[in-house]
Amino acid sequence: MLAVMVAVMPVTLAGCGKTVTTSAEISSQPVSEMPSDTEPALAGQNEIADEVKADPQAAIEDLKEIPDEYSPLDQTTEGGYDVTSRMGHYIEESDDIESSGGSQIDVGNVSSGYVRVAQSGSNSRLKVQVIKGDKTYNYDLNTNGDFEVFPLQSGDGKYTIRIMKNVDGNKYTQVFSKTVKVKLNSELEPFLCPSQYVNYDADSVAVKQAEEVCSGLKGDIEKVAAVYKWIIDNITYDLVKAQTVQSGYLPNLDSILSSGKGICFDYAALMAAMLRSQGVATKLICGTVSAADLNHAWNEVYLEGTGWVTVKLYFSGNAWERMDPTFAASGNSNIEQYIGDASNYTGLRVY
């Protein structure tokens, strides 16, 4: 049996407390799949650093920034564009499942911006790769056979979904793959529904909280302002968690709400979940911030009539303030040295 072996190296989001596997260049060298104890045959494989290929901004295309001074947007209401019709995008099962042995890839909802993947019968560490062109996203996958959801965030086109099994160190071999042609219902689809990083459903406390916070609101701008303010008023930065969180951490949104504390990954995932459930397309961005290239996670939202906007986002009175719920909630008097202007934020990965 022929397989493709790759090496994946983790990159730590310092302060965020998250070790993630990011976009990687994939080796196409075929090797015979073999048990992990056959080390001599694996030793010759090249390890590939898990980094973004080419321009790091390539993963975030056509972003716009709202100017410092407010200018009227092309909105249908004072509070922004009515996004009611975009609410209620939750994960659905389908019968269009490709399977082999314990591998399952559900491609029945690719037009809605996601795939579901499961693998059973393996004791090895597992990963999922979502590949489109030269962009590859790597994710951990549970070994208990439960489906997990992964976004198709790179637009329309041909995607390859791969289940990978660890064989030695940071080397993985392909277990199963499926290539599918994707035509999204809209470019917003992947950012209106749950996924592994932004994990919620209709019964989540985060969704109920968003309903309460946005009660009576319909417009995208007013919902963003309401959710942002609620998060910075109610969630504090967890310094202990930031120093002790383990590799492979994924936010549990309801636990974050219960504790009232979180790290940057938690803030960004919570804001994405609350806004998505309210029909506001929201990206979770992992990248760096400040001249010191501190690893960080934050959000971008889609405003009708303007498009994707980054960092300078929150409108208060007559100017837009930078929206970063982690820094806003930290109470750091020197936070401007980190936030600066939008040029200080470099997005590397989009979820």
User: Which residues are bridge partners to 149 per DSSP?
Assistant: 116
pLDDT tens for 194-224 read 999 999 999 999 999 999 999 999 998 889 8
Cα–Cα distance for residue pair 283/268, rounded to 1 Å = 9
pLDDT tens for 25-59 read 333 333 333 333 322 222 223 232 333 232 333 33
Cα–Cα distance for residue pair 75/302, rounded to 1 Å = 12
The pLDDT assigned to 176 comes to 97
User: Angle, to 10 degrees, between the axis of helix 264-277 and the axis of helix 220-234?
Assistant: 140
User: How far from each other are the two terminal CA atoms of the chain, in whole angstroms?
Assistant: 33
Higher local confidence (pLDDT), 78 or 118? 118
Higher local confidence (pLDDT), 130 or 59? 130
pLDDT band at 293 (very low <50, low <70, confident <90, very high): low
The percentage of the chain sitting over the pLDDT mark of 90, rounded to a whole number, equals 47
The pLDDT assigned to 71 comes to 31
Residues 6+ away with beta carbon under 8 Å from 5:
27, 29, 31, 42, 45, 167, 171, 172, 173, 174
Residue listed under structure tokens 């998250």: 18
Q: Please state the rounded mean pLDDT for residues 108-120.
A: 98
Q: Which alpha helices (H) appear in 37-111, and where do they start and end?
A: 39-42
Higher local confidence (pLDDT), 205 or 236? 205
Cα–Cα distance for residue pair 107/41, rounded to 1 Å = 34
Tell me the pTM. 0.75
For all residues of the chain together, what is the average pLDDT? Answer: 74
Structure tokens at 120: 């059973």
Taken in order 29, 30, 31, 36, is the CA torsion positive or negative? positive
CA 291 to each of CA 127, 208, 325, 342, 346: distance values in angstroms, whole numbers, following the listed order: 32, 38, 20, 12, 10
Cα–Cα distance for residue pair 317/85, rounded to 1 Å = 28
Q: Please state the rounded mean pLDDT for residues 56-80.
A: 38
Q: Please state the rounded mean pLDDT for residues 158-176.
A: 95
pLDDT at 331 over 70: no
Q: Please state the rounded mean pLDDT for residues 151-163.
A: 97
Q: What domains sit in the chain, N to C, each tagged with a CATH number?
A: 2-53+93-183 (no CATH), 57-86+194-350 (3.10.620)
Neighbouring C-beta atoms of residue 234, cutoff 10 Å: 12
Compute, in degrees rounded to 10, the torsion defined by CA atoms 319, 320, 325, 329: -10
Q: Please state the rounded mean pLDDT for residues 298-322.
A: 59
The pLDDT assigned to 25 comes to 30
pLDDT band at 65 (very low <50, low <70, confident <90, very high): very low
Q: Please state the rounded mean pLDDT for residues 303-328.
A: 52
Cα–Cα distance for residue pair 325/134, rounded to 1 Å = 32
Cα–Cα distance for residue pair 305/287, rounded to 1 Å = 26
Neighbouring C-beta atoms of residue 243, cutoff 10 Å: 10
Q: Please state the rounded mean pLDDT for residues 105-132.
A: 97
Structure tokens at 33: 């799949």
